[in-house]
Structure 1
Amino acid sequence: MAKGDDALTRKRNKASRKKLRSKSGDSSAVSARVASIIAAKKRRMSGKRRQCQGMCFSLPTPDDPYNDRNGKKDTKVKPSKSSKREFPKEKSTSAPNGTLRDVCFENARSSKEGSGGTLPSGRVAKRSKTDPERTKEYGNAKGSVQGFQEEDSESSVAPSKFLILCLSAIENALYHDSIKSINKPLFADTWGIEFWKCYSSGKDILDTSGLSSTDEKIAWVVSSAADSIARKEKEGSSFSSPFLLFLVPNQEKATQIRSMCKPLKALGVHTVSIHPGASLGHQIQGLKSCEPEFLVSTPERLLELVAMQAIDISGVSLLVVDGLESLSRGGYLDMTQSIRKSISSKLHTIVFSDSFSCAYVPFIQSLLGGPIRRLSLNTSVACQSACIIQSINFYTSEKEKLSKVIQALDRANGSQIRPQPLKMLFILGKECNVHDLAAALKFKGHDIVAGALCGVPEIKNNLKVDGKLRPVVAKTDIEQINTIDLGTYESIFILSAFPPIDKYVEILTGMARHTNNGVLHSFISKEEASVAGSLVEILEQCGQDVPKTVRNLSLTQATSHS
């Protein structure tokens, strides 16, 4: 039976394809490059590259080493270990056996299931010691949380998820409160971010903004304290005393802080407020019924309870003192010092200073020991240099100037007993007679080294004079002060001609960054009367006494210009 035209056509095409295949299979027929192009075309035409529609090919990955998925993501999600983790059973928030994190997980989970959830739930699960978030850098350098290793870094570890959870709880409470409100999210608060950097360094903090604590400041302080409790409990620590002691001058301030801490109760943080507005017996009964993590109190009522052994504050880890001027008006400064002495544990202290008066400097120095972190978003000279004493000396000759330098050194060495000698810096100018100064210091037991004291074996080179150890003195030119960290020195002498007032302010504020126990000595003569007016203004702004000779020099200069 004769074949049709279609059958013949199919037969011819089949023969042609067979012939082409035999030619392409011959390695000598085409080059390697042409063969790779043919192979790529066959892959595209097979449908595997239909989504790409071009010459872009994906590379193998560790998840797909043979490129079987052609660069597509695996849509099958493997069940993670965290999804199988069971939440702990509900525990009483006041029970000492349940850690703060355990209570937080369960309370946050139930809150989300019951109310639609404005807070994160089980995602805030316990992290392992190797969790990368614990070592994530916040800024450019690593830091540490109070209770961990201390570093002098300007930056710190990133805030944990639990800290964010605490801030979110307080922010939600403020949002629903018609009386109180915030302008922006707490986590984006500029002061809070700077506070976290200081807090995580482990050093005492002095806030010199000139105001007492605000809602935003309180939120960051109590949230950071709650995060420290959670970290320590995860490591197996327990607390027999309140972790945070917040000293306030009056009942109104205690009520404000108590209301800010109230949202943290759902996360396992109990706060008790003690003030003269309630009966003593009622407060004693309340302290017996619970073990608060946070204690907000006026100094007078707290000392009464401590004397009656109704509460133990010896193990307090974080002390916050709010409003020095208000505490002073209430006569609470001595009581606050007594409370500080009653705490025997390693203490982290935060002071909110609402005054720049020199009368409070000894009190602040008794509360904050060692290097500190100064915190203030106010750029005024008074805020940036609070607690630094400015000693202005008037002289008429170089001999008198050198004599006053030696007298100031003697006062600094004999002012008080210190565990380590003072770190001193002499800022010199080209006109200074270095040889006479070095000879005078050598006679007093001081050695002079050029540059900063970092890495200098100070203790080995010190000499004893009158039974007291004399520190090594560093020297630098006034043009090179930008290369030295002035915050490491507690006593600085400006021995050059009195600098321009902006340079003087730069030295003053740079020295104040890490100390509250510093003295800046400067020397002025009649030839430098042009800066006397500005100098008097700075001293008055900082609440410090103006020497009579400097004020007269300023008046004389003003009269001559008029």
Structure 2
Amino acid sequence: MGRKLKEATPPSDPEIPNDPELNSEKKKKKKKKNKNKDPENTIHSPKRKIEELEKTEEFSDSKERKKKNKKKKEKENKNEDEGLEENGKNEQSGIHEDGHVAVTGKDVKDAKYAPLKSFAESKLPSDVLQCCRNFESPSPIQSRAWPFLLDGRDFIGIAATGSGKTLAFGVPGIMHILKKRKGTFSKGRNPLCLVLSPTRELAQQISDVLCEAGKPCGVISVCLYGGTSKVAQISALKSGVDIVIGTPGRLKDLIEMGVCCLKDVTFGVLDEADRMLDMGFEPEVRHILGQTCSARQMVMFSATWPLLVHQLAQEFMDPNPVKVVVGSEDLAANHDVMQIVEVLDDRARDARLVALLEKSHKSDQTRVLVFVLYKVEATRVENMLQKGGWKVVSIHGNKSQHERTKALSLFKKGTCPLMIATDVAARGLDIPDVEVVINYSFPLTTEDYVHRIGRTGRAGKNGVAHTFFTQQNKGLAGELVNVLREAGQIVPDSLLKFGTHVKKKESKLYGAHFKEISVDAPKSKKITFNDSDDE
């Protein structure tokens, strides 16, 4: 230990400290050693970093990527067959046939919480399972969530869009209602189940699924959202409902009007919780949950686990909720999507968009979803394309709900397979067979970029995402490079010129020291100081 300290102490040799000839010879050797050490060739230099990144591009070919993913999957399946599991007092992890599933929480190793391999294992009534008749087996999130939710546990789920999250909480919600009602449904009944959603489109999508799932059992749902008349919604509430699905703004309005009573709600769901809080709905969410029964079962689905969502879970959930993560909490894009990033001048985007549409949309059958950042930008791009003879629809906040619903319906049916959208369509929406996503404007966060391109490449199909990246987006270049490299995609040299630095994750309220918090983190303690004259 002492010798290492001496060797590290400059400037003289520890064994012959005062020999001028040997010291001179050592300096010559050192000089010769550093002769070719050009700053541009150092391992930390920008030039060297680019060269190292370029080497990795040799493996970004799709065949290599598929081969690599195949080997990874074979390894995971092998681990599953051997029955490997991670150690931990209250933690259980396993490899599901569709990917990695991590489960944490109290008593999660209990045999009664074993993941379901078939719908029959759930032992649910046939009329409840009728909504699952088109599926061979439960999805990973469903197979893990149902045992806990049917047992009345508070639950946090983190899973990719399109993984069956709606039925993951919908089926247990229906069973909760049937047990509470005991098969009798009175007219004018108050709801027992509440589902909160950040956007109107997602709320409608959840409503469509739950209405169909509840019909054979006599369970009635209503969808409450803004941008449309309250009359029909108030009428439905007065007739009596079992499940309320709604956006925070409209739901709070109807509560304050005295027409929506949530005092009997004993099963609450927050879908896309992180998105809801990002949109500034925290006061509304807290107000609405405060109207529900205190002895309720809470379910939260969230793509990420930031501080505000953690605090919400601490306030409205049991101290030890179950947390299931399907895949990874790390930011990663769908590997079935080919990501093409093009760095160009802001003024060149219109011409490039038209060129891409002429190439990918010439048959008028290919569904193309074009994302923009602002409502005004959506209108301008839509008008520009319409003047060019393109048949196009759009959805954004400046359109009425009727117009948004109609546009989305035309796009889904394929009647008008070209749609311009803001980030209201980036998350949660299940739009089948979108073959191409074009990011006309890069989003404000890399998370939104991942969600946007996730609109294509769904259900095992391949998709293409073409992204325009401009000078004003350079602050997100490092994060985008990481997403591309993780998915084995080509990183263009023009993007690397912006650098690969990644900023620390920041919270709007708490600054750069903000970090992801574990669900098992201890609650904060209040400290009271004794009165003192020293202030």
Pair member with larger Rg: 1
TM-score (norm 2): 0.38
Q: Which has the higher relative contact order, 1 or 2, with Cα contacts under 8 A spaced 6 or more apart?
A: 2
